[in-house]
Chains A and B, each alone.
Chain A
């Protein structure tokens, strides 16, 4: 736990002033502005939850992809990966602590989106079902951190994957229903959408902001956690594979 918290605190200090974190702080309100403008212009204030939830999930995903995805690579480039592996503390625990800090920062984008809807469009959205809402935010952040553990080793194992790093944004937003409910996607896409935890998170977050009580909350939260756990297992397997490989090739400190 101490190692986890050390990684968490360290990453908070690193990420707080980093351009990528600042970028999320700037882009999340602007995305909210865009989505809210579309909804208000169409005289559909009922779509305000979509306009607020979507930038939050997009910010979390972007941070996972661009900051968490570079963690191992950055340590390797700066020559500190050797020392991190040589110490008795488990690298995976440290990495998870750091990634959790990144996703925690990403949750701030919800506050930004909520404020933009209120200040610019005078839509002060009440969280009608706070318990499911808060629980969903927490498990979403955890699942996102778990999923992010895949990217960091993947970008080292497959350098070509970084070329398409930017392409893992909108196709994924579309498929996971962060703006459009999965039920509105083409029928043949829905099974794939249900395999992405964000589709469960997005639906539950929107339902928690709506008047009717959300249904099957426990099952939906469990789906987010289960999919996050699967991602985490894949991420850990990839991380071990990367470490074995760079040790074998003697390229721990080479990028």
Chain B
């Protein structure tokens, strides 16, 4: 395969798969149900946690919770890749996909792209729309870097979510549980609600391997003007690429196992 073909072939498959993702999104939401239903729900979630800062009685804590939970909304949506990866099996197309010569991972990389896109919009609405109401004000120069970092958070979390989806490839019934448990653990240890330094060393080490920890550090650096954002952002990129490679490898492994055991159409 030539170099050009080795790039265009996956890109074409990912594009087709992303078109499916977009169709799913259109089927699920209209702009009204997304705005007043989904976005409203996520903004309520951010407000819910930010209000806890009010209960604590600390303006700093309120701002910390607002930023953390606003960024968390794109993580929650990106982690929905764990759930939507099962949809191919449910509609009976997984056996056909596994019989096709293209790697399964290319299909799944594009198949749930609606989530990070929608998640990015949700996070930006929460940060820039809801933030000022809780004392998080933005200067013009901060908007672009924060937007780029939110996109990076959604993209790298999607890569991490793909890996978890691949690990849980045959556990159809537990998809929602795995998705919810994973994002709640991330919410606890990645610096969303409390700084990572609050947790024991071993938890902190695990948290460093999750892209959210790095991107959130970068976003807090930009919003507070407390330090360089480039270093954690670069770490997030590296981690995102690493998780994507691991996810591709895991999908191949699971596909091989599924073909061998004849469980591609039925799951475990």
Do A and B come together as binding partners?
Answer: yes
Across-interface contacts of A37 in B (CB, < 8 A): 188, 193-194, 198
Interface segment out of the listed A122-130, A160-168, A226-234, A237-245: A160-168
Assuming A22-B177, A173-B48, is B188 touching A33 (CB within 8 A)?
Answer: yes
| Least distance between B206 CB and chain A CB atoms (Å) | 14
B interface, over-half SS: helix
Assuming A19-B174, A42-B56, is B48 touching A174 (CB within 8 A)?
Answer: yes
Interface segment out of the listed A77-85, A99-107, A176-184: A176-184
| Least distance between A250 CB and chain B CB atoms (Å) | 28
Q: Which residue of B lies closest to A180 (CB)?
A: B51
Partner of B37, one of A22, A163, A181: A163
A144 to B37 CA separation, bound complex (whole angstroms): 23
Partner of A27, one of B28, B51, B181: B181
A34 to B38 CA separation, bound complex (whole angstroms): 23
| Least distance between B33 CB and chain A CB atoms (Å) | 6
Q: Which residue of B lies closest to A19 (CB)?
A: B173
Across-interface contacts of A169 in B (CB, < 8 A): 41
| A50 interface hit (Cβ, 8 Å) | yes
Partner of A180, one of B29, B55, B58: B55
| B118 interface hit (Cβ, 8 Å) | no
Does B177 lie within 8 Å of A19, measured CB to CB? yes
Q: Which residue of B lies closest to A17 (CB)?
A: B173
Q: Which residue of B lies closest to A167 (CB)?
A: B41
| A10 interface hit (Cβ, 8 Å) | no
A interface, over-half SS: helix
Interface positions, chain B 122-177, Cβ under 8 Å from A, are: 173-174, 176-177
Across-interface contacts of B173 in A (CB, < 8 A): 19
A173 to B44 CA separation, bound complex (whole angstroms): 9
Does B177 lie within 8 Å of A171, measured CB to CB? no
Across-interface contacts of B180 in A (CB, < 8 A): 23, 26-27
| A246 interface hit (Cβ, 8 Å) | no
Partner of A44, one of B38, B56, B187: B56
Among A19, A30, A38, A42, the most chain B Cβ lie within 10 Å of the Cβ of A38
Assuming A41-B194, A171-B40, is B184 touching A27 (CB within 8 A)?
Answer: yes
Q: Which residue of A lies closest to B183 (CB)?
A: A30
| Least distance between A77 CB and chain B CB atoms (Å) | 15
Q: Please count how many residues in chain A sit with their CB below 8 Å of the partner chain's CB atoms.
A: 34
| Least distance between A31 CB and chain B CB atoms (Å) | 7
Across-interface contacts of A19 in B (CB, < 8 A): 173-174, 176-177
Does B55 lie within 8 Å of A30, measured CB to CB? no
Does A179 lie within 8 Å of B56, measured CB to CB? no
Among A23, A44, A163, A170, the most chain B Cβ lie within 10 Å of the Cβ of A170
Q: Please count how many residues in chain B sit with their CB below 8 Å of the partner chain's CB atoms.
A: 34
A41 to B60 CA separation, bound complex (whole angstroms): 13
Interface positions, chain B 45-60, Cβ under 8 Å from A, are: 45, 47-48, 51-52, 54-56, 58
Does B52 lie within 8 Å of A179, measured CB to CB? yes
Across-interface contacts of A42 in B (CB, < 8 A): 56, 58, 61
Chain B residues proximal to chain A, CB less than 8 Å: 28-29, 33, 37-38, 40-42, 44-45, 47-48, 51-52, 54-56, 58, 61, 65, 173-174, 176-177, 180-181, 184-185, 187-188, 193-195, 198
Given contacts A23-B176, A27-B180, 10 further A-B contacts (CB under 8 A): A30-B181, A35-B52, A37-B193, A38-B56, A41-B194, A44-B56, A171-B40, A173-B44, A174-B51, A180-B55
Q: What are 26 A-B contacts defined by CB distance under 8 Å?
A: A19-B174, A20-B176, A23-B176, A27-B180, A30-B184, A34-B187, A37-B198, A38-B52, A38-B65, A38-B193, A40-B198, A42-B58, A44-B56, A47-B55, A50-B55, A163-B28, A164-B33, A166-B41, A170-B48, A171-B41, A174-B47, A180-B51, A180-B52, A180-B54, A181-B55, A184-B55
Chain A residues proximal to chain B, CB less than 8 Å: 19-20, 22-23, 26-27, 30-31, 33-35, 37-42, 44, 47, 50, 163-164, 166-167, 169-171, 173-174, 179-181, 184-185
Q: 8 closest pairs, A vs B, by CB?
A: A30-B184, A167-B41, A170-B44, A170-B45, A171-B44, A41-B194, A164-B37, A167-B37
